[in-house]
Amino acid sequence: MDKRMSIDEVVERIPNGATVAIGGSSISRKPMALVRALARSDRRDLTVIVDVGGPDVDLLLGTGRVAEVIYAFVGFEVLGLAPHFRRARQSQAIRFQEWTEYTVMAGLDAKIKRIPFMPTHATLGTDVLRVNPSFREINDPFGEETLVAVPALKPDVALIHVNYADIQGNGVILGDGHVDVLCAKAAKETFMSCERILSSEELQRFGRDVQILRVYSRGVVEIPWGAHPTGCAPDYRTDLRHLQDYLKAASSEEGWRQYESEFVDVDHPQYLTNHGGPEELVSRLKV
């Protein structure tokens, strides 16, 4: 089956109030072109699930698309805190649930295995257990231990970005895998953007790097630079200069409006042009 679709067709498949799991990790391999399309749409009241979030969560918060965030971390790593996330947390503008790296994985895994929860020791003795309304302390039915029950996370949609895919929806991830496979398996529908579409014969040469299996994919979009400004190893590095401009823009209302009009409310080809075009990006970000 040919699963190619356009960016706009992906957005059409995401209704108001949908729960959206996003792959990648902080400033690495986030499906940013898909996220930007969602950010400039009129979708509202989304629940966003991320293990390690960064510019993806921050942009969706900055453009007012989100009602709740489930996260283990949201930040810009070496560059500092995520400005819209920070503001929304401090002003209690929307709902937040603090999870942890493994518990997000466990929640997705519980959904995959069709069980209501996964038990873990993680979060015992921490305030995450106190403030997270979803977790429960339980007793080991076989012994004496106290454990934490992590409920299944049930994304309607997963958005991920990979290096290569074929038109049937198999995907190759060459750098760190993060939690993309779990997101793809747990979601009702997974939409995958990729740097390049290859033939299925070419794709099979990647062996075990073919991590996303087509049975889990609903749609494939070829979007070169689709993770920008996050990195997509080994194709290009994180654009730290752009992320710094983002942080500067987000510090004032006027700066943010200007950022939106230049880098969010434009289609992907125009987005690349506004960065000086692919050649400019190659010269700065290819290793």
Partner 1 sequence: MPLMSEFSVDEVIITTMARQLKGEVLVSSVTAFGSLAAHLAKRLYAPDLAVLSTPESGMDVTPMPTLTLGQFLTDVQQGIPLTMEDIFDAIFTDHFRIWINPSQIDQYGNTNITCIGDWSRPKVALVGARGIPEDTSHLSETFYYILNHSPRSVVQHVDFRSGAGNGESRQHLGPHGAPTTLVTDLGVFDFRGPQGQMTIKSLHPGVSLEEVQERTGFPIGGGEGDILSTPPPTADDIRLIREADPLEVRKLELMSGPMAAEKFVNIYERERQTLHATYPRVGKLGRG
Positions that interact with partner 1 (CB under 8 A): 25-28, 52, 71-75, 77-79, 81-82, 85-86, 89-90, 92, 98, 100-103, 105, 121-128, 131, 137, 145-146, 174-179, 202, 205-206, 209, 231, 233-234, 237-238, 240-241, 244, 284-285, 287
Query: What is the C-alpha separation between 287 and 282, in angstroms, rounded?
Result: 9
Nearby residues of 5 by Cβ (< 8 Å), 6 or more positions away? 191, 219, 220, 221
Smallest gap from residue 161 Cβ to partner 1 (A): 14
Query: Which CB atom, from 47 or from 100, has the smaller least distance to partner 1?
Result: 100
Query: Which CB atom, from 154 or from 284, has the smaller least distance to partner 1?
Result: 284
Query: Which CB atom, from 42 or from 133, has the smaller least distance to partner 1?
Result: 133
Distances (CA, A) of 112 to 3, 107, 137, 235: 23, 9, 22, 31
Smallest gap from residue 277 Cβ to partner 1 (A): 19
Query: What is the C-alpha separation between 190 and 207, in angstroms, rounded?
Result: 21
Smallest gap from residue 9 Cβ to partner 1 (A): 28
Query: Which CB atom, from 138 or from 215, has the smaller least distance to partner 1?
Result: 138
Query: What is the C-alpha separation between 37 and 102, in angstroms, rounded?
Result: 29
Smallest gap from residue 66 Cβ to partner 1 (A): 15
Smallest gap from residue 180 Cβ to partner 1 (A): 10
Smallest gap from residue 28 Cβ to partner 1 (A): 6
Query: Which CB atom, from 30 or from 43, has the smaller least distance to partner 1?
Result: 30
Query: Which CB atom, from 73 or from 191, has the smaller least distance to partner 1?
Result: 73
Smallest gap from residue 53 Cβ to partner 1 (A): 8
Query: Which CB atom, from 167 or from 233, has the smaller least distance to partner 1?
Result: 233
